[in-house]
């Protein structure tokens, strides 16, 4: 699995801590981690609005399989990511959230509140969240006897979202203010991840067009 970590300006100072804990869980499992957002407060400036665009590009191009995002409260990133086609993001405060989201909703992104409760033991909470998010089989339901309706409802929710959006990924990206998209995809680490691993030539081509 390829996992993208993306952090915006308000929480960029915590990137090293979050990245370390994510790698400590993901790498032994054979997963790759791409740190595509801000790595510190002097890095390429991003807001939670940009994170949604970045998640759209990376997930729909199949450059990555999963996104870990967030902001101060986690709510802005959650809403931003869920605006986009092909992105199913859950809100995650603790390991139980990560486990239940994987079992019930089986999405492809998490939004964490990096400013809330980020005190003593914060790195342990992050590690345990990532363990629940990336170990074991997903979509088993919770409790297990609820699997069938949960799988059905998760599928229906995705169908409703697709029907409401009506636009394909490329059209959705072109409908956004091009300066917002350009800023979102201008980070060199995101571009490296996309250009090396992206499988959708149209999305990759749009990013090259905007950033050349």
CA angle 53, 198, 100 (to 5 degrees): 60
pLDDT for the residue numbered 109: 98
- Note the pLDDT tens digit of each residue in 23-57: 999 999 999 999 999 999 999 999 999 999 999 99
Q: Which runs of E-coded beta strand occur in the chain?
A: 2-5, 32-35, 66-71, 89-91, 109-113
Furthest C-alpha separation in the chain: 52
Q: What's the whole-number mean pLDDT along residues 156-172? A: 87
Residue-range definition of the domain harbouring residue 32: 2-211
Residue 165 pLDDT class (50, 70, 90 cuts): confident
Residue 164 pLDDT class (50, 70, 90 cuts): confident
- Note the pLDDT tens digit of each residue in 167-182: 788 998 999 999 999 9
Q: Look up the pTM and report it.
A: 0.95
Mean pLDDT of the chain: 95
State how many domains the chain has. Answer: 1
Please check the confidence at residue 99 and state whether its pLDDT lies above 90: yes
pLDDT for the residue numbered 169: 87
Cβ count within 10 A of residue 89: 27
CATH number at residue 190: 3.40.1400.10
92 vs 170, residue with greater confidence: 92
């Amino acid at each position: 699995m390829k996992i993208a970590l993306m952090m915006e300006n308000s929480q960029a100072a915590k990137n090293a801590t979050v990245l370390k804990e994510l790698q400590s869980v993901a790498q032994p499992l054979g997963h790759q981690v791409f740190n595509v957002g801000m790595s510190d407060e002097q890095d390429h400036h991003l807001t939670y609005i940009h994170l949604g665009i970045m998640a759209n590009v990376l997930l729909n191009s199949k450059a990555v399989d999963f996104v870990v995002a967030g902001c101060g409260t986690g709510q802005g990133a959650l809403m931003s990511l869920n605006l986009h086609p092909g992105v199913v993001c859950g809100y995650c405060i603790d390991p139980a959230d990560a486990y239940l989201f994987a079992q019930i909703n089986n999405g492809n992104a998490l939004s964490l509140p990096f400013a809330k409760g980020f005190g003593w033991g914060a790195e342990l909470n992050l590690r345990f969240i990532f363990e629940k998010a990336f170990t074991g089989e997903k979509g088993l339901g919770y409790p297990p006897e609820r699997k069938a309706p949960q799988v059905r409802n998760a599928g229906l929710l995705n169908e409703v979202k697709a029907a409401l959006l009506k636009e394909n990924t490329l059209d959705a990206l072109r409908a956004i203010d091009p300066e917002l998209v350009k800023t979102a995809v201008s980070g060199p680490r995101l571009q490296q991840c996309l250009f090396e691993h992206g499988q959708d030539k149209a999305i990759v081509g749009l990013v090259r067009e905007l950033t050349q």
